[in-house]
Structure 1
Amino acid sequence: MSKPLVVAIDGPSGTGKSSVSKAVAKQLGLAYLDTGAMYRALAWSCLDVAIDFDDGSAVAEHSRTFDLRMGMDPAAPTVAVGTRRIDREIREDAVTSVVSRVATNLDVRADMLTRQRALIAEGVQHSGGVVAEGRDITTVVAPDADVRILMTASEEARMARRSRQLRVSAESTRSQIIDRDRTDSTVSQFTTAADGVVTVDTSHIDFRQSVAAVLHVVKEAVGGDVDLSTPAG
């Protein structure tokens, strides 16, 4: 890219936004930020030090002080607390089952907003831009992003996609997809495109087509600097 570029990608679980965002960031030579992983890291850290999730003030205080470190290389993004890498741990059921407890804490969200904006600025400084994905990225975290996209998909497609990822039945993923989205939507908006946000529906397209669709939106927004070729897979 010839000038700094921030791409914000919103959307519910199971739309493919994480894998697509990484591929787009890699294609464009930008940093990649998974903001959802930040909430997962906090949930893991609260479990690790035995903070009571019912004590919202304690959770919020821990959010302000824990040593979260996000590696933003799209080819190998990392999550650590202090010197401990927790990339795998934050995807385990123990964290998945409680992450909404921290993500719906408004004081936590305020702290994470500050952290996320700082990381976006870091990505711009060091990589010339960043693809930031998660929830309420297009409306709260980066409302002034150069490109704002809402990735969406049908409930059936989202459950099927997650079940393939976890190698379990589609119905068993309902709590991870539908129930969590219902809970999280009480504090953030990630199911309806705000003004100026482009919707990309991935219900009936595969990974390559999803990447191509996002790259096309970027191309339309910023002009001729974008390589529209897509990775294999």
Structure 2
Amino acid sequence: MDGPSGTGKSTVARRLAETLGAAYLDTGAMYRAVTLAVLRTGVHADDSAAVLRCAEAADLRIGTDPGHAEVRLGDEDVSAEIRGPEVTAAVSAVSAVPAVRELLVAAQRRIISEARGRRGGIVVEGRDIGTVVVPDAGLKVYLTASADARAARRTAQDTAAGRASTVDATRADVERRDRLDSTRVASPLRPAVDAVEVDTTELDVDGVLEHLLAMVRDRGLDHAAANL
């Protein structure tokens, strides 16, 4: 499942995984955790070689339980800190480093392979899942929504998490990240040619989930969960 920020991707991906009894992987959280490691060392995000060294040294651990998708650097739970404004401002630059993407894509593929063997299936969300990470996925979905809807959702999420935010500031940040992510050289944000595009502007979470479950069942991809 791919798409820009604010489309409801994370919420829907988790709910879908829970409903199917599948594993769940938030690849964006991996890039955010590496970005946090970079910020903590004082390395400038434009220094690609130093950023890669930080990524290689980071003891990144990410859970695949959709009900408790914890993100850790070493023994420290950084699930909340990686959603902060400092990480959000720097993550596009860090994730644009080709060698960092290569490193994390390899890790993501290992996690996906292990989860398939352990739980029979996995829901993966990010920005290059259908195009790069799992190009042979049985179902590829690309979520979209209007800029206004995405900004409102992100602002609501930030407010609920205790992070100061305004719709105008969030819209500017969403548009900035869209521009950076869609124009980067390595794995730009775009739908796979065979992805099903779903506009979530007028849909609530239950509506999107219902639509996705219908596609999963139409393709016979729910059999793994039924056998758990």
Q: By the TM > 0.5 criterion, same fold?
A: yes
What corresponds to 1:203 in structure 2? 201
Aligned-partner Cα distance in 1 for 2:2–2:57: 27
1:173-220 per-position Cα deviation (integer Å, ceiling 9, x unaligned): 0233111111011233434x3322111110101011011111111112
Give the match's secondary structure for 2:140: strand
Q: CA deviation at 1:65?
A: 2.7
Q: CA deviation at 1:141?
A: 0.5
Q: Which runs of 5+ in 1 are unaligned?
A: 1-8, 228-233
Give the match's secondary structure for 2:124: strand
Aligned-partner Cα distance in 2 for 1:86–1:12: 22
Q: CA deviation at 1:122?
A: 1.6
Give the match's secondary structure for 1:53: coil
Aligned-partner Cα distance in 1 for 2:50–2:170: 30
Aligned-partner Cα distance in 1 for 2:183–2:44: 21
Whether 1:45 aligns to 2:33 is: no
**Structure 1 range deviating more: 94-103 or 10-19:** 94-103
Aligned-partner Cα distance in 2 for 1:31–1:55: 35
Q: Which has the higher helix share?
A: 2
What corresponds to 1:27 in structure 2? 19
Q: Which has the higher strand share?
A: 1
Whether 1:148 aligns to 2:146 is: no
Whether 1:182 aligns to 2:184 is: no
What corresponds to 1:136 in structure 2? 128
What corresponds to 1:219 in structure 2? 217
Q: Which runs of 5+ in 2 are unaligned?
A: 160-164
Contact 1:31 1:129 in 2 (8 A): yes
Give the match's secondary structure for 1:80: strand
Aligned-partner Cα distance in 2 for 1:16–1:190: 16
Give me the CA root mean square deviation: 1.6
* Structure 2 counterpart of 1:165, one-letter code: Q
Aligned-partner Cα distance in 1 for 2:8–2:222: 26
Contact 2:150 2:171 in 1 (8 A): no
Aligned-partner Cα distance in 2 for 1:159–1:45: 27
Q: How many residues align?
A: 218
Whether 1:90 aligns to 2:90 is: no
Aligned-partner Cα distance in 2 for 1:175–1:61: 31
**Structure 1 range deviating more: 55-64 or 79-88:** 55-64
Contact 2:181 2:189 in 1 (8 A): no
User: Structure 1 stretches (4+) deviating beyond 4 angstroms?
Assistant: none
